Amino acid sequence: MGRWPYSPRMQPELEVRSPFVAVIGGGPAGLMAAETLAAAGHAVQLFDAMPSVGRKFLLAGKGGLNLTHGESLEAFGQRFFERSAELAPWLADFGPEQLRAWAAALGVETFVGSSGRVFPKDLKAAPLLRAWLHRLRGQGVQFHMRHRWLGWAEDGALRLDTPRGELRLQPAATVLALGGASWQRLGSDGTWWPWLQARGADLAPLRPSNCGFDVGWSEHFSSRHAGQPLKGVAIGIGDFRQAGEAVVTATGVEGSLVYAVSSLLREAIARDGSAHFTLDLLPARDLAWVQRELAHPRGPRSLSTHLKTRLKLDGVKAGLLWEVVPKDAQADPARLAAAIKALPITVTAARPIDEAISTAGGVRFEGLDERLMLRALPGVFCAGEMLDWEAPTGGYLLTACFATARRAGNGAATWLAAGTSA
């Protein structure tokens, strides 16, 4: 891969003011927690197992860096499903508007795209990360790369595996921002889960979120259409319906439309062994129009040619029809029209967690106080994706990582100011 850019200077030796606050994890949540604590006047030492910080952040920038979403705060908050109520006050303190103002203060202007998603004007992550690290260094935050957290020693000290051997530290407070368990090569590997469990933290199992699902295509269909986008479709599951795009994979489906219902599909599979949704292949047309077009005389033309000529259905959409719709239904215009408007798809398994964009599960809010401090471990705060919440793609994930990190950073500062007995 070559040298990863924008690595903060690693301290040659661990020389710190005492007391100090340790932040474990150099993703967006860890960096925001460090900034919040430094702004409150605390000496901050940030440790990360990777050679540089923000690796997943930079990867997200390859797609334009979707920072947040431009919809109303009320609508935004509902994207967090059953955790919407818990996240609401933190998003009110640092939500989409505050995040855009924060980026602007770093010299990065943003804009709202046609989909409502918010991006930097240059569609790049690197300039924002560069400016952010410069400010953090100016605040006195010290970075220690290739320092992998190993949990706690018997006396409560943090154990860190470093290039010079194991290091043990006794910080005044600790903020954990370790991510979930997706994209292990970028640092989120979920190894922290058993260490927190052993210390009595209230945890939910880590599960894939914003992930693809297996369908079990025929070799004929998979070999011809794997990797092709399904544009201009709508997904339906229960009362939920949303238009957008998906992608056919070698084993099933993925993409933004599938991610939007990934939690529903995942839970249905866990409960029933499989899950079902429908695809509307022509969401801009109603059923009556499709029926009329199919009923139009086709003469000597094949059904495939008729679909292409009258309904503009060909390629992967037509392939899906032949894959899913039985032969007898293909010959029945009414049944074929119904399938075009609500093609039934059955998924049997979520893709492995390391392929997922994000994860569900982690530290339950019930095991945290309002400052995001672990009830089982006073002085230890948690932030970001390692908390038990999930949301679809579209800027919601990053915004919540920032918002929870601000809360954890401020929570740690408040706890320190009140004394360790608070």
- What H or E segment, with its residue span, contains residue 214? strand 213-214
The reply to whether the predicted model has a pTM over 0.85 is yes
On whether both 371 and 385 belong to a single domain, the answer is yes
pLDDT at 63 over 80: no
Three-state DSSP state, 183 = coil
Asked if 241 and 372 sit in the same domain, the reply is: no
- Taking residue 228's Cβ as centre, other Cβ atoms within 10 Å add up to 14
Would 186 be classed as within a structural domain? yes
How far is residue 340 from each of residues 138, 235, 307, 322, 382, measured CA to CA in Å? 59, 12, 10, 11, 47
Q: In the sheet where 240-248 sits, what is the strand order?
A: 343-347, 275-280, 229-237, 240-248, 252-254, 213-214, 349-350
pLDDT score recorded for residue 10: 43
In a domain, 12, yes or no: no
Res. 6 pLDDT band, cuts 50 70 90: very low
Asked if 308 and 314 count as a contact pair (C-beta separation under 8 A), the reply is yes
Amino acid at 169: L
In a shared domain, residues 185 and 254: no
Based on the fold, state whether residues 141 and 226 are members of the same structural domain: no
Give yes or no: residues 104 and 195 share one domain. Answer: yes
Instruction: Tell me if 8 is assigned to some domain.
Output: no
- The domain in which residue 405 lies consists of 21-208+356-418
Say whether pLDDT at 125 is over 80: yes
Q: Which of 350, 385, 405 is the last residue of a domain?
A: 350
3-state secondary structure of 191: coil
Q: So what's the pLDDT on residue 1? A: 28
Q: Is residue 4 part of a domain?
A: no
User: Is 11 domain-assigned?
Assistant: no
Tens of pLDDT along 255-313? 999 999 999 999 999 999 999 999 999 999 999 999 999 998 888 889 999 999 999 99
Domain containing residue 401: CATH number: 3.50.50.60
360 and 344 within one domain? no
What is the C-alpha to C-alpha distance for residues 414 and 412, in angstroms, rounded to an integer? Answer: 5
- Give 15's pLDDT tier (boundaries 50, 70, 90): low
**Nearest-CA neighbor of 399 among 81, 103, 59, 11?**
103
Above 70 in pLDDT, residue 155? yes
User: What does the pLDDT read at residue 111?
Assistant: 96
Same-domain status, 111 and 223: no
Do residues 47 and 104 share a domain? yes
Quick one: 83 and 220 in the same domain?
no
Instruction: Note whether residue 83 is domain-resident.
Output: yes
* Mean confidence (pLDDT) of the chain: 92
- Which of 325, 350, 375 is a domain's end point? 350
Last residue of a domain, one of 328, 350, 372: 350
* Structural domains in the chain (count): 2
Residues 344 and 379 in one domain: no
- 326 falls within a domain: yes
* Same domain as 385, residue 310: no
Report which of 259, 203, 254 is spatially closest to residue 79, judged by C-alpha positions. 259
Q: Is 320 a member of any domain?
A: yes
State whether 363 and 280 are in the same domain. Answer: no
Pairing of the two strands 158-162 and 165-169:
antiparallel
Residue 351 has pLDDT above 80, yes or no: yes
Which pLDDT score, from 0 to 100, does residue 298 have? 82
**Does position 325 have pLDDT exceeding 70, yes or no?**
yes
